[in-house]
Structure 1
Amino acid sequence: MNLVKIFRLTLAAVLLTAGTLAATSAQAQAPLKIGYTDVQYVLAQMPESKQIESELKTYNSQLEAQLKSKYAEYQSKGEAYQKAAGTMTDVVKADKEKELQGLQQSIQEFQQSAQQSLQQKQQTLLKPALDKLQKNIDLVATENGFTYVFNSDGGGSPLLLHAPKEGDISDLVLKKMGITPGAAVPVKSGPASSSAPASAPTAPGVNKTKVKTKK
C-alpha cells in the first residue's frame, strides 16, 4: 500500500476540500492573494512519515499473521475432511461441512474487518501530522498574505489546475517546520491480505465460497 496514497485519501476528507484560511480584516480589504501547496510533496518529507510507515507495517504484519492462521486452520480441516469423508456417517459429515463453511465465512469477515481496522489505524496515526501541516499552512499563509491556499497534488484530483510558480508555498511550509525542502521519496507497504495463502480446498458436499485476497 502506498503511504502517499493513504495520505491523499485521508486528506481529501479531512484537510483539503476547501481553502485553509480565514482572512483577517486587513487582508479582507487587500487584493485577493491565492496560494497553493503540493500536500503529497510536503507530507512525504515530514519526519513523521517514516514513523507512521513503520507502525503501519507492524500493524499490517499482525493482521497478515492472523489471516494466515485462519487459512491454515481451514486448509488443515479441509484436507482432514477429504481423507476421512468416505468413512464418516451422514451426521458427522454434515457437521464437518458446516464447520468448514463457518471457517470460510470467518475468513471473509476477517478480511473485511482487517481493511477497516487498518484504515482506522491510518487515520489515528495521520491526525497529528495533518494537524501539524494545517497549523503551518495557516502560519505561512498569514505571514505571506495569502487569502486562500489550495492543494496542487497532481497525483489525485487536484483542486488547482493552473497557477503561477510564485504562488507555491510548499517549500515555505517545509521551512516553517524546520525541514529542508528536497525530493520526496514515495514509501510503500503491502495490504493486509497481500501475502495470505490461496483458498483452502473445498471439501466434497460443501458449498464453495471463494475467498479472495485483496490487492
Structure 2
Amino acid sequence: MMNKIKLLVAAFFLISFASFAQSNDQPLKIGYTNVEYILLQLPESKQIESQLKDHSTQLENQLKNKYAEYESKLQAYEKGAATMDATIREDKEKELMGLNNSIQEFQRNAQMSLQQKEKSLVDPVITKIDKAIKDVAKENGYTYVISNQALLAGPEDGDISPLVLKKLGVDPAKAQQTPEPAASKPATPAAKPATPAKNNKKKN
C-alpha cells in the first residue's frame, strides 16, 4: 500500500521541487531532505494507510461476492446443462457471460477507485510538506533544497529533515532513523479469471 504512496510522492516532487532564487549577495547554500521519510513520520501516514486498507477490503469483499455468485451459477449450469431446454440453456449462458463481464469491469474500476482514493488522501499531505520545506529553506537561507535520493555526497548539516519535521509539529528525536519498509498489498484479490460457460447445445 505504501509503495503506491511513494510513487505519488515521487511524481509530485518531480514537478514541485523546492527551489529558491539566489540574490547577488547571498552565498549558495544547498540543503537536502527525504520527502518519503518526512511523510512516514507524520501521523497522517498511518491514517492514510488505514483508510486505504479499509477501502481495499471493501473492494475485495465485493469482488469475492461477485465471484461466489458466478461460481455458484456456473456449477448449477454445468450440472443441469445436458437436460436443459435449449432456450433456458441459452438464457443461462447469457447470464453467466454477463456476470463474467461484470467481474472483469469491477476489477478495472476497483483499481481506478483505489488509485483515486490514494491521490485524494496523499496530495494534501504532500502539499503541506512542500510548504514546510519551502518555509524552512527561506527561514534558514537555503538557495536550493534537493532530494537526498539524488545526493551522492554532502555535509550532515545540509540535512534539513529535522527542521522540516519541527515545522510540521513532529519531534525529530522521536523520528524513525529510516523509512519503514512498505508492505505492498494488491487492491483486489487475485481471483482466477471467470471462465465463460461452454456452449453445450445439442441439436434437437
Task: Place the TM-score, normalised by the shorter chain, in its bin.
Answer: 0.7 to 0.9
Report how far residue 199 of structure 1 moved. Answer: 4.2
Task: Map Cα deviations across residues 36-79 of structure 1 (whole Å, 9 max, x no partner).
Answer: 21111111111111111111111111111110111011101100
One-letter code aligned to 2:33: T
Match for residue 9 of structure 2 among 11, 21, 31: 11
Distance of aligned partners of 1:138 and 1:75 in 2 relative to their CA distance in 1, 3 Å threshold: same
Give the one of 184, 192, 203 matched to 2:187.
Answer: 192
CA distance in 2, matches of 1:39, 1:80: 54
Aligned to 1:89: 85
User: Aligned pairs, how many?
Assistant: 194
* Contact kept? 2:103, 2:194, Cα under 8 Å: no
What is aligned with 1:171?
A: 162
1:203 corresponds to: 197
Please list every run of 5 or more consecutive structure 2 residues that lacks an aligned counterpart in the other structure: none
Q: Which residue of 2 aligns with 1:210?
A: none
The amino acid that maps onto 1:13 is A
Mapped contact 2:97–2:196 kept (Cα < 8 A): no
8 Å contact kept, 1:60–1:118: yes
- Worse-superposed segment, 78-87 or 173-182: 173-182
Question: Are 1:100 and 2:91 an aligned pair?
Answer: no
Secondary structure, in 3 states, of the residue corresponding to 1:15?
Answer: helix
The residue aligned with 1:45 is 41
RMSD: 2.0
TM-score normalised by structure 2 residue count? 0.85
Report SS of the residue matched to 2:17: coil
Question: Does the 8 Å contact 1:75/1:201 carry over to 2?
Answer: no
- Residues 71 and 199, structure 1, Cα contact 8 Å, conserved in 2: no
- Structure possessing the higher radius of gyration over alpha carbons: 2
Seen in structure 2, the aligned counterparts of structure 1 residues 168 and 17 have a Cα distance that, compared at 3 Å, is: farther
CA distance in 2, matches of 1:18, 1:51: 24
Unaligned runs of 5+ in 1: 154-159, 207-215
Q: TM-score, normalised by structure 1?
A: 0.81
Higher helix share: 2
- Counterpart residue identity of residue 72, structure 2: S
Identity of aligned residues (%): 52
Distance 1:173 1:151, change over 3 A: same
